[in-house]
Amino acid sequence: MPHGDRPLAITIFTLVIFGMIMIFSAGIALSLNNYGDPYYFFFHQFFYGVIPGIILWIVFQNINYKHWERWAFPLFMLVIILLIAVFIPGIGQVYKGSARWITLGPINIQPTEIAKLAIILYLAAWLSKREKKIKDFMEGFVPFCAVLLLMAVLIAKQPDIGTLGMIILISVVIFFLASGRLTHLFLLALAGIFGLYIMIQIAPYRLDRFKVFLDPQTDPMGIGYQINQALIAIGSGGVWGNGPGESRQKFLYLPEPIGDSIYAIICEELGMIGGISILILFFIVAWRGYRITKQSNDLFGKLVAGGITSWFVFQAFINIAAITSLIPLTGIPLPFVSYGSSALIISLVGAGILLNISKEAR
């Protein structure tokens, strides 16, 4: 059987290894402060994220992607159940006011990460079966919006607006690749703007991120603290960086140094060269992923490949744009690099499916 796309596989593996190196460096102070062990986050990511993730990557790469068409709906329903379960006391775990995790012994599962893959597979299966009805408003667009609304309500309730935005963006790409009408997507965009307005009215603190984006000096010790510390880290790195392991901001100055702020630590330690290298790696993911999308043998494979590629690429560039203050902070992690075992495992599963599509296309 032909191999999958080698450049894509090598690029993703490089991102995972690079992520482990940066978690090792950026997480020392936070690990020591929280757990008394400077390498807690590194070993936790390795044993609960990298090892199972690589195993599942290999397994899913060797399963014909067409099998997932029949399992798309059951997986989607499972995710809906998990998204409801996060609100059940004793099952869901609340952290910093957000109910986003399900605790099973030493393992924390984040259902929204599974939701990204589930919505891709479900929409791809659903739209590929209704290829001739996609342009119809009542039979194509309205049911599509109903699926998004169901997931949007559950994720917004957590709340996790950054992930919700990513899921909607991925879904729009899939709908577009399925030849959906642009006028329908325009209506969806208007509905999204109205929905964001309502969410800001319900919780005015969400407006703070826009205020900080427009003026990073707004309350630098409060709502503007994270972005200001991130910009200090990026600026102090210069062209060549301060050197591997030589970040100062990781010593409890910059919030989430191994999470959504890890790109700032990369730039501080490895400079502009390190930051550009990450961008190049994700450009390669985009190039190879959309190439697989174009070469797919059927509509289901095309939509899945396009959805998974858009998931990796859009999330990466949104994370980088946010931490460099090009857009408001979103709180979403850098794929394959940021700390988070659930996110890494599901991303590697998605990578395995994408590589299988490339293998079957050949």
Per-residue pLDDT of the chain (362 residues; tens, 9 = 90+): 346 789 999 999 999 999 999 999 999 999 999 898 899 999 999 999 999 999 999 999 999 999 999 999 999 999 999 999 888 877 777 766 677 788 776 677 888 999 999 999 999 999 998 877 888 888 888 999 999 999 888 998 887 888 888 999 999 999 999 988 888 889 888 888 888 778 777 766 666 666 666 666 666 666 678 888 999 999 998 899 999 888 899 988 888 899 999 999 999 999 999 999 999 999 999 999 999 999 988 899 999 999 999 999 999 999 999 999 888 887 789 999 999 998 999 999 999 999 999 988 76
Residue 15 covered by a domain = yes
Residue 1 covered by a domain = no
Residue 233 covered by a domain = yes
Residue 188 covered by a domain = yes
Contacts of 59 (CB under 8 A, 6+ apart): 352
**DSSP 8-state class, residue 138:** I
Residue 285 covered by a domain = yes
Map tokens 């729009």 to a residue: 172
> Is-contact 123 171, C-beta < 8 A?
yes
In the chain, how many domains are there? Answer: 1
Residue 321 covered by a domain = yes
Q: Please give the residue range of the domain that contains residue 93.
A: 6-361
Could you give the C-alpha distances from 357 to 131, 289, 296, in angstroms and in order? Answer: 20, 10, 7
Residue 22 covered by a domain = yes
For residues 328 and 48, give the distance between their C-alpha atoms in angstroms, rounded to a whole number: 31
H helices of the chain, in order, are 6-26, 28-35, 40-45, 51-61, 68-85, 111-129, 142-157, 161-177, 182-202, 207-214, 225-237, 262-295, 299-323, 341-361
pTM value?
Answer: 0.93
pLDDT value of residue 1: 37
Residue 77 covered by a domain = yes
Amino acid identity, position 104: L
Map tokens 């009215």 to a residue: 201
